[in-house]
Structure 1
Amino acid sequence: MARSTTLSRLDRLEMITALAKSGEPLTIGDIAMELGVSSRTASRDIEILRDRGLPIEADRGRGGGVRLQRNWGVGRLSLNYTEAVDLLISLAAAEQSGSPLFMAQLGGVRRKLVASFSPAMAFKINDIKSRIRIGKSAPAHLLSQYRAPAVEIVGTLHQAFLDRSAISITYTTVAGEESQRIIEPHYLLLSSPIWYVLAWDELRQDVRTFRCDRITSLVTAPDRTFRLRAIGDFQTSLEGIDNI
């Protein structure tokens, strides 16, 4: 039961909501085990969610089944800042791909999503969108060298990008040379499927472009934030990007 000490009620409610929406068959006992709490606590949390309007049905007893009402639809979608940015970036990349299959309505989906944001959230999202660039697809000779970057590196880089925090990286060049850098991740560029960071490099005291999949380690420096530079400052760093 040690896990129950690390999960707040808010965290538990979010997890129960996600489990209920998954469509998988669940019992109160399953949920209690997943959360590391007693069945009584799980039942109380489910009752709170019902009071908040989530149409959860639960049978009585320890082994009672838990499910959403069959006629429950998508309704309102609640996303946090990071999730909203991820989704909008994915939509933008899909739109730019030019594929007509299953993608005809992406523009409308994106507009509806943006329209659902609060003014404060919309302002933050627009700021981030202005820092994401979608370019042409990567040339074939780069694809043979490409390996998807590690999930933990992507997550840390993403957060530093959102927070405008400097990061310390270990970077490997195309020639296999390794170096330590401290960079400011100002913009991201997708040359599908390869992502690049358009950054200020403290070592070179100049702008540089780094391939995300060539970053082998990364540590944030949250106390070292930066002021965003104009995108025009990075034009020279994009020269020869097809050979990086």
Structure 2
Amino acid sequence: MTRANTTKHLDRLEQLTAILKSEDALTSKMIAEELNISERTLFRDIGILRERGLPIEADKGRGGGIKLHRHWGVGRLSLESQEIIDLLISLAIAESMGPTLFMRNIDTVRQKLMASFSPKQKEKMHQLRKRIHVGEQASPDVLQSFSTKKQETKATIETLHHAFLFNRRLSIIYQDFYNQETQRDIEAHYLYLGFPVWYLLAWDYLRNDVRIFRYDRIKQADILPQEFTVRPLSDFHDILTKQNVRTL
């Protein structure tokens, strides 16, 4: 076997390991199709991984599949809540860029990252990705009023992200276009990026309606004890349409 073929085989074994770690039980046909190999080659690779000590299980019969033992967790990451959401946002932005020069392997990166998360973290990641959206670059009018020098403090960002992550109501001081400040109680349902400006798509109790808030205009944020249930995306349809947003 040539060096090129050996490298390709090792890459495939690594990808197979990531698939088995990051997904529920899959049939041999599904895995073989994803790797673009025959089922015979797949089982040969599985044999190699078993020889390396990976506890691969195969359930026979209808509905059965191939997977790693559920308690196998070598290489699992230990991430704080803030790190999870920061990583999620970064990955979501990278995916939205498409197959750029340095992002051609984004699917493999995502599989490896997901393989490193605990089952609880995986579920949280899946749910949060549905709540992050990316639109077109900010307009010249928005950029004119946006400055990195006016950006919110690190503490404010962490408060906003914590409330978003754990579905907690927020009390914020918001400065509008005319520099007038108002106190708002809001629910942070979705994040939206019109690069480089971040927004919260929220329910505003002051207006008793959905509203969009620019991050850099949130001067203070405090978490309230009340929790909320995420509203359906359809509630924000008019805002999303106006901002020309696409879901990640």
| TM-score higher than 0.5 | yes
Residue 240 of structure 1, CA deviation: 4.8
C-alpha separation between the residues in 1 aligned to 2:133 and 2:170? 20
The whole-number CA distance in structure 1 between the counterparts of 2:179 and 2:99 is 35
Is 1:144 equivalent to 2:147 in the alignment? no
CA distance in 2, matches of 1:213, 1:130: 23
Q: Distance in 2 between matches of 1:165 and 1:235?
A: 22
Identity value in percent? 44
User: 1:81: how far off?
Assistant: 3.6
Return 5+ residue gaps in structure 2 as ranges: 1-74
Shift in alpha-carbon separation, 1:237–1:139, aligned structure 2, 3 A: same
Q: Which residue of 2 aligns with 1:19?
A: none
Matches within 5 A, 1:61-76: none
Which stretch shows the higher mean deviation, 126-135 or 76-85? 76-85
Distance 1:99 1:173 in 2: 37
1:63-110 deviation digits (Å, cap 9, x = unpaired) = xxxxxxxxxxxx654323431221121021123235824332233212
Provide the TM-score with structure 1 as the length reference. Answer: 0.62
The structure, 1 or 2, with the larger RCO (C-alpha pairs under 8 Å, 6+ apart) is: 2
User: 1:85 is aligned with what amino acid?
Assistant: I
- Structure 2 match to 1:57: none
Contact 2:76 2:117 in 1 (8 A): no
1:200-215 to 2 correspondences below 5 Å:
200-215=203-218
2:194 equivalent among 182, 188, 191: 191
1:110 aligns with 2:110: yes
Task: Report the CA distance between 1:228 and its aligned residue.
Answer: 1.1
State the shift of 1:123 in Å. 0.9
Contact 2:92 2:129 in 1 (8 A): no
| Aligned-residue CA RMSD (Å) | 2.0
Provide the C-alpha distance between the structure 2 equivalents of 1:116 and 1:174, rounded to a whole number of angstroms: 43
Counterpart Cα distance in 2 of 1:220 and 1:180: 13
Counterparts of 1:112 and 1:136, CA distance in 2: 29
Q: 1:145 to 1:97 in 2, by over 3 A?
A: farther
Aligned counterparts of 1:108 and 1:163: Cα–Cα separation in 2: 28
The change in CA–CA distance for 1:130 and 1:177 in structure 2 (over 3 A counts) is same
Question: C-alpha distance in 2, partners of 1:126/1:98?
Answer: 19
The corresponding residue for 1:236 is 238
| Consecutive unaligned residues in structure 1, runs of 5 or more | 1-74
Between the aligned partners of 1:186 and 1:226, the Cα distance in structure 2 is: 9
Match of 2:180 in 1: 177
Structure 2 residue matching 1:235: 3-state secondary structure: helix
CA offset at residue 185 of structure 1?
0.5
Counting matched residue pairs gives 167
- Secondary structure of the 2:211 match is strand
Alignment of 1:87 onto 2:101: no
Shift of 1:241: 4.5
What is the rounded CA distance, in whole Å, between the counterparts of 1:181 and 1:167 in structure 2? 8
CA distance in 2, matches of 1:82, 1:198: 19
Structure 1 position 233, deviation (Å): 0.3
Aligned-pair distance for 1:239? 5.7
**Distance across 2 between alignment mates of 1:167 and 1:190:** 20
Structure 2: which amino acid aligns with 1:89?
I
TM-score norm. by structure 2 comes to 0.61
User: 1:233 is matched by which residue type in structure 2?
Assistant: D
Q: Distance in 2 between matches of 1:81 and 1:151?
A: 15
- Which AA in structure 2 matches 1:96? S
